[in-house]
Amino acid sequence: MNLRELLRSRREWLDDQTIYVVEPWTSEAEAFLSSESPDKNGPIFVSGKPYVYFLEGFIARDFLDDLDAPDDVGEVVCDRLIRYTIDDA
Dihedral sign of CA atoms 56, 58, 61, 67 in order? negative
Distances (CA, A) of 88 to 49, 63, 83, 85: 26, 11, 8, 6
Q: Is the pLDDT of residue 9 over 80?
A: yes
Q: Which helix (H) or strand (E) holds 48?
A: none
The band of 26, judged by pLDDT with boundaries at 50, 70 and 90, is: very high
pLDDT (tens digit per residue) in 42-53: 898 989 999 999
CB–CB of 6/54 below 8 Å?
no
Query: What integer pLDDT is reported at residue 69 of this predicted model?
Result: 86
CB–CB of 34/7 below 8 Å?
no
Q: Is the pLDDT of residue 80 over 90?
A: yes
The band of 70, judged by pLDDT with boundaries at 50, 70 and 90, is: confident
Query: Which amino acid appears at position 75 of this protein?
Result: E
Q: Is the pLDDT of residue 64 over 70?
A: yes
Query: What integer pLDDT is reported at residue 89 of this predicted model?
Result: 66
